[in-house]
Amino acid sequence: MILTLHASEPDGRPIAAPTISTIVGSMKRWVSIQAGGSVWQKGFYDHVIRDEQDFLTKAQYIENNPVRLLHP
In a domain, 13, yes or no: no
Scored b (16 or more CB within 10 A) or e, 32-43 reads: eeeeeeeeeeee
For 22-39, how does the pLDDT look when each residue is reduced to its tens digit (9 = 90+)?
999 999 999 999 999 988
Q: Would you give the DSSP letter of residue 28?
A: H
26 occurs within a structural domain: yes
Residue 8 lies in a domain: no
Q: How many residues does the chain have?
A: 72
Structural domain span for residue 53 = 20-70
What is the enclosing helix (H) or strand (E) of 66? helix 52-70
Residue 42, domain member (yes or no): yes
pLDDT tens string 29-65: 999 999 999 888 888 888 999 999 999 999 999 888 8
* Euclidean distance between CA atoms 4 and 27, whole angstroms: 15
In a domain, 24, yes or no: yes
Q: Report if residue 5 sits inside a domain.
A: no
Number of domains into which the chain is organized: 1
Greatest CA separation found in the chain?
A: 48
